[in-house]
Amino acid sequence: MTSQSDFGAWMKQVQARMEDALAAFLPAPVETPARLHEAMRYAVLDGGKRVRPLLVFAAGDLFGAAPEMLERAAAAVEMIHAYSLVHDDMPCMDDDALRRGKPTVHVKYDEATALLVGDALQSQAFLVLTDGEAGAAEANRLAMVRELAHASGSLGMCGGQAIDLASVGLPLALDELERMHRMKTGALLRVSVVLGALAAKLPSTAEAAALDAYAKAVGLAFQVVDDVLDATADSSTLGKTAGKDAADNKPTYVSILGLDRSQALAERLRRDAHEALAPFGDKARRLRDIADLVVQRKA
């Protein structure tokens, strides 16, 4: 069993390592066009919980992947995540002024720059994933590129965002809400686990199924908890607007299930995530700890 302090120390170590890796994998701020590169670094560095990189490292830990490959895989997923946040904050989408306690990219720079930051981060993610001698076989790297492209495209994150935008003001059923979140946020969380595994090996069918069940539960739990935090947030909380989705007339778990049942659902999903990892025994302890972190987080 892992002690909280052991997990806390591991988490801090991965987060610090990722800060350095991301800083190294992003174009230098002095390189032309300097303003775009500066804005890309502003969007990615110095902020965020780095949940997706933690998942990459935890899954890689389970299968004994090379740390250099995990760094690249984690940086690629985090760049796609950062791009999605930059675009999501723009006036044509959620129109948010604050992200991670700082002015959003279109506010700090301008809208055209924010659009280009997202586009360039997406390309940079695939460059980082495929550059370098990072210690994974070519077949694994190709599988990683395909998985990441699929998770971030119209059948994954972008598709989920499209469904979300189209559902404003509509009474979504619970299964429709779940499908939207599975694509919008779940796909990127799932692919983090998949990339961590692929950095070491092509998982067997049974391993892939267990990881999928884990990622499905954690991905959904992440969103349920996000809705709970959104519904209970103090409006003075930096970077978060209390009840914003509800105020924007978007369906949420809390608006459909209520607060108590949403909290109970998050706890059930945490247990489902633990159960899915049973075949891996103690080697999967980091993944278990992350499921706990996702459900017990306060921000």
Binding residues for ligand GRG, rule: CB under 6 A, are 48-49, 51, 84-85, 87-88, 93, 100, 157-158, 161, 184-185, 226
Judged by CB, which is closer to ligand GRG: 37, or 181? 181
Judged by CB, which is closer to ligand GRG: 66, or 107? 107
Rounded least distance, CB 180 to ligand GRG, Å: 10
Rounded least distance, CB 152 to ligand GRG, Å: 8
Q: What are the φ/ψ torsions at residue 97 (nearest 5 degrees)?
A: -95, -20
C-beta of residue 299 within 8 angstroms of C-beta of residue 258: no
Q: First CA to last CA across the chain, in angstroms?
A: 25
Judged by CB, which is closer to ligand GRG: 42, or 200? 42
Q: Which tokens is 142 given?
A: 């190709």
Rounded least distance, CB 138 to ligand GRG, Å: 29
Which residue number has the CB closest to ligand GRG? 48
What does the alpha-carbon distance between residue 273 and residue 211 come to, in Å, rounded to a whole number? 9
Judged by CB, which is closer to ligand GRG: 84, or 104? 84
Cβ burial 201-234 (10 Å sphere, 16+ → b, else e): eebeeebeebbeebbbbbbbbbbbbbbbbbbebe
Judged by CB, which is closer to ligand GRG: 84, or 255? 84
Q: How far is the CA of 31 from the CAs of 18, 26, 36, 80, 259, in angstroms? A: 22, 11, 9, 21, 49
Rounded least distance, CB 258 to ligand GRG, Å: 20
Contacts of 133 (CB under 8 A, 6+ apart): none
Rounded least distance, CB 204 to ligand GRG, Å: 29
